[in-house]
Amino acid sequence: MSHTIYETEISYFTTEDGLRLAYDDVGEGVPLLCLAGLTRNTNDFNFARPHLLKYFRVIRLDSRGRGKSQFDTDYHNYNVLTEARDVIALMDHLGIERAATLGTSRGGIISMMIAASHKERLLGVFLNDIGALVEPEGLANICSYLGIPPKYKTFDEAADQMSYAYAKRFPGVSRERWYAQAKNLWRQGENGLELTYDPLLRRMFLEQSASGTLPDMWLSFDALQGLPLALLRGEFSDILSQETADEMRRRRPDMLYATAKNRGHVPFLDEPEALDLYARFAAAVSRPAISAPAAS
């Protein structure tokens, strides 16, 4: 599968605590804030963006410490509450009163946190392979690579190895796609591929996990009541179980839902199931009759 990378101008804004964060902003219509996974950046949406532009003004953010955004001198600020405030700051910077979000993994948790704290700023939420419970197997997998430089020397080597390593969770994915995904995830350095995020994310992640201070995400999920909501789950996800997805559907019978076939964590977001869900989600957030209740 090929994809189109739109060469867009990177812009910057400054957060309330003085950090310079990067974003890009393309298209017209309902604003859609694309919030990437824990270690990822705006490239997380390279495969999705040409499809999203049919319906949305697409705004992609590099969270603090990721991509082209400034690293934080205090790694404790790599937390969901702070990153949710950064999203609100970006909306304020752009003069956007309300927006929809597309959150991949960590970005989905941030979206739910915004629903709990600034619900009046949301038009709707699209969750990509994340729910109100995160499976221990998936957390262990994240710990196995978080903050550790990739072992690959080149993108070609990465594509070859990823084609083999992810064959069970992503059956049938071409080497061409893994090459493109490797370029989304890392950058070429003198001695091999390099991380595109602050490696201190690992320390924050491990400390927070050990402290047991993770928020109850069911409360944040329930805060989405009254907002258009969509969920895409990877068929072989180790982060979002089928049981959790079923409970989310029970609590929100109106939630738009699809399973991305032959995908683990996370779907690339250009699967046929994702494209169908975009159209349905766009229709939901565009209905004049739907409005978010005031924040409680």
153-179 burial, b for 16+ CB within 10 Å, e for fewer? eebeebbbebbeeeeebbeebeeebbb
pLDDT at residue 59 is higher than 90: yes
Residue 205 burial (CB count, 10 A): 21
Q: What is the pLDDT of residue 210?
A: 78
Give the CA count within 13 Å in the CB-facing half-sphere of 181: 20
Give the CA angle between residues 34, 61, 183 to the nearest 5°: 90
Q: What is the pLDDT of residue 216?
A: 80
Confidence category of residue 97, pLDDT binned at 50, 70, 90: very high
Cα 110 from Cα 177, distance rounded (Å): 28
* Domains of the chain, residue spans: 11-135+216-286
Give the CA angle between residues 10, 15, 21 to the nearest 5°: 25
pLDDT, tens digit, 9 for 90 and up, residues 172-229: 999 999 999 999 999 999 999 999 999 999 999 998 877 665 568 999 999 999 999 9
The residues with which 99 forms a beta bridge, in sequence order, are 122
Least confident of 32-46, 59-73, 197-211: 197-211
The residues with which 194 forms a beta bridge, in sequence order, are 187
pLDDT at residue 30 is higher than 90: yes
pLDDT at residue 60 is higher than 80: yes
pLDDT, tens digit, 9 for 90 and up, residues 221-273: 999 999 999 999 999 999 999 999 999 999 999 999 999 999 999 999 999 99
Q: What is the pLDDT of residue 141?
A: 92
Least confident of 86-90, 133-137, 199-203: 133-137
pLDDT at residue 124 is higher than 80: yes
Q: Of all helices (H) and strands (E), which one includes residue 126? A: strand 122-128
Q: How far is CA 245 from CA 52, 121, 212, 249, 290, in A?
A: 24, 25, 23, 6, 24
Architecture of domain 11-135+216-286: 3-Layer(aba) Sandwich (3.40)
Q: In the predicted model, what is the mean pLDDT of the chain?
A: 93
